[in-house]
Amino acid sequence: MGTQKEISITWNGDKVLKDFKKKANKAMKAVALFISGRAKANSPVDTGRLRNSIKPESGADFVKVGSNLDYAKHVEEGTSKSKAQPFVSPAFETETNAIDKILNENLKNE
């Protein structure tokens, strides 16, 4: 009869997932900071309050950039009495190439 050979398999999935999540958090934070900078540059300035209120948030699977000021939505989207002055949405929409580059740089294997 043939000789038996022992095979051993090691699962490193938990480490791989942990490492990926760490990289994803870093990548999304970089995107959030970039987008918030673009939104601040795009924002109309009267007193500077709106620009100063723009803050980024991020996690491994999301980026959120916005303001907690009540009137920020009205500036972004406009009202029946004032035209829209978008500042956040263009930061996302016009910077897709830069966002891709940031993600690729932060998620590449080292």
For the chain of 110 residues, list the mean pLDDT of each consecutive stretch of 10: 79 86 95 97 96 96 96 97 96 94 86
Q: Please tell me the pTM assigned to this model.
A: 0.82
pLDDT value, residue 33: 97
How confident is the model at residue 108, as a pLDDT? 85
pLDDT at 71: 96
- What does the buried/exposed string (b/e) look like for 21-45 if buried means 16 or more CB atoms within 10 Å of the residue's CB? eebbeebbbbbbebbbebbbebbee
> Which burial class, exposed, middle or buried, applies to 66 when counting CB atoms under 10 A from its CB (0-12, 13-18, 19+)?
middle
pLDDT, residue 110, reads: 59
